[in-house]
Chain A
């Protein structure tokens, strides 16, 4: 009886099992070294995403060029770009494009900043203290699922048609996710970390500042990303009444004149600004909480 030496076996080619095509759908093929078997959703997506966007753009162009859809319903990408350049040059309803962008971004980020200043401490307090949680939880949970459009009239009745009601509306949309994120963040601290700090002589205030707040930071940053997204979502509602500037105003007033390409320019600008801000937030996350999910 003889055994093949190990090197022979390893060197012989064609030993790697070939997974039949159909079976791939039922069970993942063995991975290459350096990868982990069976990780859900493993794989890079950038290329696929770029391709998907390009294909949609091309299809959009083809469909509109072939005259399958009237420009009133869907102008072609090229028309949208032309409109963008036109607005960039001439402005929209008497104000330059950068001013529309600036006014809207100002409203969203003012509301966002206010929501951070109030929501983060409030959420931490709710996470740390049952009295605070008991006090604020019913109100927060009650208004959270209500669409901002529903309480927009109240905002206007109470605070007028000026800037205050616009910023407040967006603020309320951002506040709930930020507060809930900070509150949930308190939970992400390990009890051993708290015990360790106390056994090293920490006071309650030190445990809050040096341990809980630090451990909650990843969750808070995530909630800020979600929150600012809600802010952009609410922008158009906020700029519905008595606005003459802003991207939301641009979209709304253009829609009344059936200027579909202007509507699309506004939509794409809002999406682009929100996306760029999210990228910046993700970069910030990598920078200040590189340990996220790693301990």
Chain B
């Protein structure tokens, strides 16, 4: 569905600095219904990669295609969920959810019908007309996810969506995102710097490394499917396979770090 072929990105250098190679030779496929997680320390280019997919940034070299068509600019087939500050505080919960539909010129009654379907899924039934600035961080983030969903994108792009949440809220939100992923059958591309989050949520993991930003390792992951098959999140995260995988990935990241230092 989404193909990234030999993509490199250079940021121009300043007067006394060389051009920075933010991404080198990225090859990545994101298939229908896949949940791809990009993991890496800051500066590894994972945000650059997301900006490329979202269409905010053009690659210096290489190609990105969605369903065979080159990506040229942002579009609602690739809705982005941001870490924070991206809701519209002048709109209440339902109007935030329906914002994408409003942009498409969908009438109010129909917008609300669609948005209400997601209120329940997100656990926001009682907050339909609440101002978003009165909500907790976790609830705001659910509105952000719902807003992307109502636009009915081909792929959800999530830029550290849970980074600003406290640990408990974060775990709940991980489970919610997995349930949404399952019920809506969307492809997801998620950025995180939490190893545990990456392992728990993805079906495919790419580990990235800085200077230049590149993909160093790829893994297929079973854990999100185990959770959705009925295992509890704690069981999954405490299982020996999960722990072994976590240590492997942490080892890779620390080794990369030392090499870079």
Chain A residues with a Cβ under 8 A of chain B: 190, 192-193, 195-203, 206, 210-211, 214-215, 217, 289-291, 294-295
Q: Are A192 and B85 in contact (CB under 8 A)?
A: yes
Q: Are A200 and B151 in contact (CB under 8 A)?
A: yes
Q: Are A199 and B75 in contact (CB under 8 A)?
A: yes
Q: How far is the CA of A295 from the CA of B135 in the complex (A)?
A: 11
Known: A198-B74, A291-B89. 20 other contacts (CB 8 A): A192-B84, A192-B85, A196-B82, A196-B86, A196-B144, A197-B103, A198-B73, A199-B54, A199-B78, A199-B79, A199-B80, A200-B76, A200-B79, A200-B100, A210-B102, A210-B103, A214-B88, A214-B90, A217-B90, A295-B89
Given contacts A190-B86, A214-B90, contact A195 B54 (CB under 8 A): yes
Q: Are B56 and A195 in contact (CB under 8 A)?
A: yes
Q: Which residues of B contact A210 (CB under 8 A)?
A: 88, 99, 102-103
The answer, among A195, A202, A289, A291, for a CB contact under 8 Å with B86, is A195
Q: How far is the CA of A210 from the CA of B101 in the complex (A)?
A: 13
Contact with A along B61-105 (1 / 0, CB 8 A): 000000000000111101110111111111000000001101110
Q: Could you show 15 A-B contacts with beta carbons less than 8 Å apart? A: A192-B83, A192-B85, A196-B86, A196-B147, A198-B73, A199-B76, A199-B78, A199-B79, A200-B151, A201-B75, A210-B102, A217-B90, A289-B90, A291-B133, A295-B133
Q: Which residues of A contact B78 (CB under 8 A)?
A: 199
Number of A-B contacts (CB under 8 A): 76
Q: Which residues of A contact B88 (CB under 8 A)?
A: 193, 210-211, 214
| B131 nearest CB across to chain A (Å) | 6
Does B157 count as interface, using CB distance less than 8 angstroms? yes
Q: Are A295 and B102 in contact (CB under 8 A)?
A: no
Q: How far is the CA of A199 from the CA of B87 in the complex (A)?
A: 13
Closest to B77 in A: A201
Does B52 count as interface, using CB distance less than 8 angstroms? no
Q: Are B132 and A295 in contact (CB under 8 A)?
A: yes
Q: Are A192 and B102 in contact (CB under 8 A)?
A: no
Q: Which residues of B contact A197 (CB under 8 A)?
A: 99, 103
The listed residue with most B CB atoms (<10 A of its CB), out of A192, A199, A203, is A199
Chain B residues with a Cβ under 8 A of chain A: 54-56, 73-76, 78-80, 82-90, 99-100, 102-104, 131-133, 144, 147-148, 151, 157
Decide if the interface of chain A is mainly helix, strand, loop or mixed. helix
| B64 nearest CB across to chain A (Å) | 15
Q: Which residues of A contact B103 (CB under 8 A)?
A: 197, 200-203, 206, 210
The answer, among B54, B86, B133, B151, for a CB contact under 8 Å with A294, is B133
Q: How far is the CA of A195 from the CA of B157 in the complex (A)?
A: 12
Q: How far is the CA of A275 from the CA of B76 in the complex (A)?
A: 48
Q: How far is the CA of A95 from the CA of B54 in the complex (A)?
A: 67
Q: Are A195 and B82 in contact (CB under 8 A)?
A: yes
Q: Which residues of A contact B75 (CB under 8 A)?
A: 199, 201
| A220 nearest CB across to chain B (Å) | 13
Q: Are A201 and B104 in contact (CB under 8 A)?
A: yes
Closest to A200 in B: B100
Closest to A217 in B: B90
The listed residue with most A CB atoms (<10 A of its CB), out of B83, B88, B133, is B88
Q: Are B86 and A193 in contact (CB under 8 A)?
A: yes
Q: How far is the CA of A76 from the CA of B189 in the complex (A)?
A: 75
Q: Are A200 and B147 in contact (CB under 8 A)?
A: yes
Q: Which residues of B contact A215 (CB under 8 A)?
A: 90
| A131 nearest CB across to chain B (Å) | 22
Q: Which residues of A contact B102 (CB under 8 A)?
A: 210
Q: How far is the CA of A128 from the CA of B109 in the complex (A)?
A: 33
Given contacts A199-B74, A200-B79, contact A295 B87 (CB under 8 A): yes
Q: How far is the CA of A192 from the CA of B140 in the complex (A)?
A: 14
Q: Which residues of B contact A291 (CB under 8 A)?
A: 89-90, 131, 133
The answer, among A190, A195, A201, A203, for a CB contact under 8 Å with B151, is A201
Q: Are A192 and B90 in contact (CB under 8 A)?
A: no
The answer, among A192, A201, A217, A295, for a CB contact under 8 Å with B100, is A201
Q: Which residues of B contact A192 (CB under 8 A)?
A: 82-86
Q: Which residues of A contact B157 (CB under 8 A)?
A: 199
Q: Are B80 and A190 in contact (CB under 8 A)?
A: no
Q: Which residues of A contact B99 (CB under 8 A)?
A: 197, 200, 210
Q: Which residues of B contact A198 (CB under 8 A)?
A: 56, 73-74
